[in-house]
Each structure stands twice: as structure tokens, then as C-alpha cells.
């Protein structure tokens, strides 16, 4: 283990450089052309067997694709930044996920690690913000790595390099999963549904910050994942002259407005916590026109999948009732989904012990609360169903501001330290 930590430490500057490159060129979910290209290029050079796109994703299980014109604009931008055209063609339709495998020395288990690649629709701060001060601020207006996924990609690459340089340190196989579109919980189900976990014996993932906000801190497990569903409801009515023939109109604005208010009135569930939020309400065209279109974008959450399903089925019932009331039609589309997850305490205790023994951490927690949603729960629940070890770690770092804020930034020492720990997990769990 000692030499894996030494290797990780030696890659500190390189890890930081990778992170800063990803930070400079952030890409929104399902448009991670350049990010995926950079990752695949390096992994291939280091001897990994690399698959991507349709080989590792089920397009039918992908949620919330951006509008075609947006995806095309981002694809052309990526080509302008050096991504080969043929590769961008193969990634069309959100097919930006990657799975890379490497064999160790001798027989052993298959251990998988998952990293997310997408950025946020956030405008990066400039004044008094380190990325701007040190020359690695986002070059993409309105897009920013404000959740630390640039760091996750850098950790994945650093881990990949350590393993490629120390194949004799692990047996069996290591599988690195680079997932698109965690934001909006859109990408994970498509990768799990493609069967990429079928040969996996053990699974790890993690997130920078969240509950662990001090450098040198680790939580071996995370609890309190809320199951979450994001959905759009689109009401379509009939436009007419508000003075001459209002009776000919069907008012979609009223249906949307009624729905927004009524959705917040869904009864709570006795078995646990729930959430609902209508975040977007759009309707209407002109003052003297009966509005023929109304859109409600909302999300529900639940302490368990059962509670979230209850919130969704109530929401659907209310939306349909509001449509019926106004005589308009309803289109209802799920845009993203994640599950709840009960953490694997036994594996968590083993990871915590390993981290404490390493002497690389000042504080190690067995488990910290999340109280948010993560689509990594699709991976975690698949492993749990099969009774296989899994963990979602919290990688501690001081933060300049909270996640999804334009001033978000983390301490880059989390990169090499996390890669070192994951390399030790690869060495340990491939030999189980
Ligand atoms: Zn986020
Ligand atoms: Zn995140």
C-alpha cells in the first residue's frame, strides 16, 4: 500500500493540472465530448481497454437530453477545441459515457469505480475567485464545474495512472466508469441498464465536499440519499381571441397555474420525509390571447423509493385533473431519476479502517449524511440487490463556497489523496 500512496503523492501536480484543464472547458450533461475525448485518449495510451457510447449505455434509459440544437452547438464547439469529428459523431445523442478496464497480475475479483463528468449551468465568478486569479476559469459562458466533477475526473485519471504503473499491486480487473449527466440525475440508469455492472464484484464512488468540508477528512459511507424524480408537465390547449371568442379557447395557463399550486398541496407520507418543488412555470403569449400552452417543471423526493413513487403518482393525478378541469391535454415526461440507498455498513467499516491505518487522513468518519440526491444510487442499489460490497465515499475538502455556486472551488489536495485511497481499495478488493 505504501508505494501506492507514494505514487499518488508523486502525481499531485499532474492531478491538479488535469482538474484545471477540465475546469477550463466545462461541459453540460450528455454533451461531455471534450471531457470524454481527453479521458479516453489518456486511458488508451496507458493500456486500458476502452469502450464508450452505445457499448456501455442504453439510449432508451437516458433522461433529459438537451434540445437537439443545443447538443449540436456543443458538439461543434468541442470540434473547435480539438475533438475529432468522427468521435463526436459517435457520441451524438448523449452517448458520452466511458468504461475502461485494466488487468492486474493474476486472478482476482473485478472492482469498479465511478466518476461523473458533467458541469452545471452556472456562471463562474471572476472577482476574488481563484480559478480566475490563477488562469483556469471556465471558457464556456454560463457553464461551470461548480460541483467538483472536474475533480472527480482528475481523481479517476490519477487512479488510472497509478494502476497502470503498478499492475503488480492488484490482481483481477479494475473497471473505471466515467458517467455523463449526474446533474439532473439523468445518466446513471442508462449505464447500469446497459449491464456494465454484470461482471463487477465490488463498487466504489464518491463526491468531493458535500458533508465533508475539511481537508484530510474522509467519510467511508454516505447515508440519507433521497429518491428523486424530475418531471415536466406540458399542457396544450387552444388559442383564441380573448374578446371575440373566449369560449373557443382552452386555457393551458390556468391548468399550469392550478397545477403549480395544487402540487405543493400533496399530502405528506406517514412512512418518511418527502419533498416537492415546482421550479419552473411558463405559459402565455399575449395579453389578449387565450393561452394554448403551459409548462410546469417540478421534482419530487422521498426518503425511500416508495415515498417518491407516491409523490409522483399523486402529482400525475393532480396534473391530469387540472388538465381535465380546463379541457386541455397533458404531456408528462420524466426528466431524471435517482433512488434511495441503505449503505453497506460492513464495507464502510473496512474502508474506514484502511483509511485510518494509512495515516493519510486527519479525520475518518464511518458515515456522513447526504440529504440530497445522487444518481449513483442506481449503481449502489444494483450492487446491494446482488449482495455485493459497495460504498459512496465523501472526500473531504475545504470549499470556497457551496456546491452549484459561482464561487465554488475546492482544495486540490483532495485529488491525489482520494486517488491514493481508491488505489488501495483496488489492491485490497481485487484480492478478496
Ligand atoms: Zn451537483
Ligand atoms: Zn455533484
CATH of the domain at 175: 3.40.630.10
- Spans in the chain with pLDDT lower than 70: none
Separation of 285 CA from ligand 1 center, angstroms?
33
Q: Residue 211's pLDDT is what? A: 84
User: Which of 338, 368, 401 is at the close of a domain?
Assistant: 338
Model confidence, pTM:
0.94
> How far apart are the C-alpha atoms of 41 and 39, rounded to whole Å?
5
Separation of 161 CA from ligand 2 center, angstroms?
23
Residues 25 and 106 both lie in one domain = yes
Q: Parallel, antiparallel, or unpaired for β 202-208 and 329-338?
A: unpaired
Residues 366 and 264 both lie in one domain = no
> How far apart are the C-alpha atoms of 326 and 335, rounded to whole Å?
25
- By CB neighbour count within 10 A (0-12 exposed, 13-18 middle, 19+ buried), where does 264 fall? exposed
Separation of 241 CA from ligand 2 center, angstroms?
47
C-alpha to C-alpha distances, 377 to 204, 205, 211, 382, 392, nearest whole angstrom: 11, 10, 17, 8, 9
Q: Residue 6's pLDDT is what? A: 98
Separation of 183 CA from ligand 1 center, angstroms?
5
Q: Residue 428's pLDDT is what? A: 97
Separation of 185 CA from ligand 2 center, angstroms?
10
Helices (H), 29-84: 33-45, 68-80
Q: Residue 27's pLDDT is what? A: 98
Helices (H), 46-203: 68-80, 85-90, 130-133, 149-165, 188-193
Residues 132 and 57 both lie in one domain = yes
Residues 287 and 156 both lie in one domain = no
On whether the CB atoms of residues 43 and 160 are closer than 8 A, the answer is: yes
Domain around 358: 2-223+342-429
User: Which of 305, 338, 371 is at the close of a domain?
Assistant: 338
On whether the CB atoms of residues 5 and 410 are closer than 8 A, the answer is: no
Residues 270 and 308 both lie in one domain = yes
Q: Which phi-psi region, left, alpha or beta, contains residue 40 (left: φ > 0; alpha: ψ -120 to 50)?
A: alpha
Closest to 121 measured CA to CA, from 39, 27, 187, 43: 27
Residues 325 and 347 both lie in one domain = no
Residues 201 and 246 both lie in one domain = no
How far is C-alpha 392 from the geometric centre of its chain's CA atoms? 13
Q: Residue 408's pLDDT is what? A: 98
**Which residues are within 5 Å of ligand 2 (an ion), measured at CB?**
147
Separation of 374 CA from ligand 2 center, angstroms?
8
Separation of 132 CA from ligand 2 center, angstroms?
21
In our burial notation (b when 16+ CB lie closer than 10 A, e otherwise), range 333-372 reads eebbbbbbbebbeebbebbbebbeebebbeebbebbebeb
Which residues on adjacent β-strands are paired with residue 333? 232
User: Which of 338, 373, 407 is at the close of a domain?
Assistant: 338
Q: What's the number of domains the chain is made of?
A: 2
Residues 346 and 331 both lie in one domain = no
Separation of 147 CA from ligand 2 center, angstroms?
5
Amino acid at each position: 500500500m505504501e508505494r501506492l500512496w507514494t505514487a499518488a503523492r508523486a502525481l499531485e501536480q499532474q492531478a491538479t493540472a488535469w482538474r484545471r484543464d477540465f475546469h477550463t472547458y466545462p461541459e453540460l450533461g450528455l454533451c461531455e465530448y471534450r471531457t470524454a475525448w481527453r479521458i479516453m485518449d489518456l486511458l488508451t495510451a496507458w493500456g486500458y481497454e476502452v469502450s464508450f457510447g452505445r457499448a456501455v449505455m442504453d439510449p432508451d434509459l437516458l433522461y433529459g437530453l438537451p434540445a437537439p440544437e443545443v447538443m449540436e452547438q456543443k458538439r461543434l464547439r468541442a470540434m473547435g477545441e480539438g475533438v475529432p469529428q468522427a468521435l463526436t459523431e459517435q457520441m451524438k445523442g448523449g452517448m458520452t459515457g466511458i468504461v475502461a478496464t485494466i488487468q492486474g497480475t493474476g486472478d482476482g475479483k473485478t472492482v469498479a469505480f465511478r466518476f461523473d463528468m458533467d458541469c452545471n449551468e452556472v456562471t463562474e465568478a471572476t472577482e476574488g475567485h481563484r480559478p480566475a486569479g490563477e488562469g483556469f476559469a471556465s471558457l464556456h459562458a454560463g457553464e461551470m464545474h461548480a460541483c467538483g466533477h472536474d475533480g472527480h475526473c482528475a481523481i479517476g485519471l490519477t487512479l488510472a495512472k497509478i494502476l497502470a504503473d503498478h499492475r503488480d499491486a492488484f490482481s483481477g480487473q479494475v473497471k473505471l466508469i466515467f458517467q455523463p449527466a449526474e446533474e439532473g440525475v439523468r445518466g446513471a440508469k442508462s449505464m447500469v441498464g446497459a449491464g456494465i455492472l454484470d461482471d463487477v464484484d465490488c463498487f466504489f464512488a464518491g463526491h468531493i465536499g458535500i458533508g465533508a468540508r475539511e481537508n484530510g477528512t474522509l467519510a467511508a459511507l454516505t447515508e440519507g440519499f433521497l429518491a428523486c424524480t424530475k418531471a415536466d408537465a406540458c399542457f396544450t390547449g387552444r388559442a383564441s381571441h380573448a374578446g371575440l371568442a373566449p369560449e373557443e379557447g382552452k386555457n393551458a395557463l390556468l391548468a399550469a397555474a392550478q397545477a403549480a399550486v395544487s402540487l405543493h398541496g400533496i399530502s405528506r407520507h406517514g412512512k418518511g420525509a418527502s419533498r416537492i418543488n415546482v421550479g419552473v412555470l411558463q405559459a402565455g403569449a399575449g395579453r389578449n390571447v387565450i393561452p394554448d400552452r403551459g409548462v410546469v417543471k417540478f421534482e419530487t423526493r422521498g426518503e425511500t423509493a416508495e415515498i417518491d413513487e407516491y409523490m409522483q403518482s399523486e402529482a400525475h393525478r393532480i396534473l391530469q385533473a387540472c388538465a381535465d378541469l380546463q379541457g386541455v391535454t397533458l404531456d408528462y415526461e420524466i426528466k431524471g431519476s435517482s433512488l434511495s440507498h441503505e449503505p453497506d455498513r460492513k464495507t464502510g467499516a473496512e474502508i474506514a479502517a484502511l483509511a485510518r491505518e494509512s495515516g493519510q487522513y486527519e479525520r475518518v468518519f464511518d458515515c456522513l449524511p447526504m440529504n440530497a440526491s445522487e444518481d449513483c444510487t442506481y449503481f449502489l442499489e444494483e450492487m446491494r440487490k446482488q449482495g455485493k460490497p459497495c460504498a459512496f465515499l465523501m472526500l473531504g475538502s475545504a470549499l470556497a463556497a457551496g456546491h452549484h455556486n459561482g464561487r465554488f472551488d475546492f482544495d486540490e489536495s483532495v485529488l491525489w489523496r482520494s486517488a491514493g485511497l481508491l488505489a488501495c481499495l483496488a489492491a485490497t478488493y481485487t484480492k478478496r
